[in-house]
Amino acid sequence: MTIIQDKTNDLIFYASSGLTNPYYLVRLVNRLTAKEFVFLDQSVVSCPFISLELLEPGKDAPDDAVNGTLKIDSGSYEIYLYDQESNTNLDYTLSNSNIYSGFAYVYSDEDLDRTFL
């Protein structure tokens, strides 16, 4: 999964929840520094393909993790998706269950320009 800084990113997960109307919490753990980023998606969807939106607002904009707006450092991450009944909880240990685990890479536009030249 790829996340581009300063952009709106659609994150697609193949996962399913046992909850009737789940909210989704996403946790990213940097594989080098172990720094964590957590955000919620406010859409309530329940199907095998879960599409969440992350707005990466740029370095000068405020974070709003409850509404899916978050600045994330460039790097390689482990990504986890949790289902929960709360639309405000940002503590993954209080979520219902971990329904997806994988890897994500966060790039800046400059990183991408250098990568594909």
Mean pLDDT (the chain) is 82
Indicate if the pLDDT at residue 117 is higher than 50: no
Residue 29, beta-bridge partner list: 36, 78
- Percent of the chain past pLDDT 90, that is, above it, reads 39
pLDDT by residue (tens digit) across 36-92? 999 887 666 656 566 666 766 656 666 778 877 778 888 999 999 999 999 999 999
The dotted CATH code for 2-115 is 2.60.40
Q: Where are the domains of the chain?
A: 2-115
pTM for the whole structure: 0.84
pLDDT at site 17 = 86
Give the H or E element holding residue 25: strand 23-30
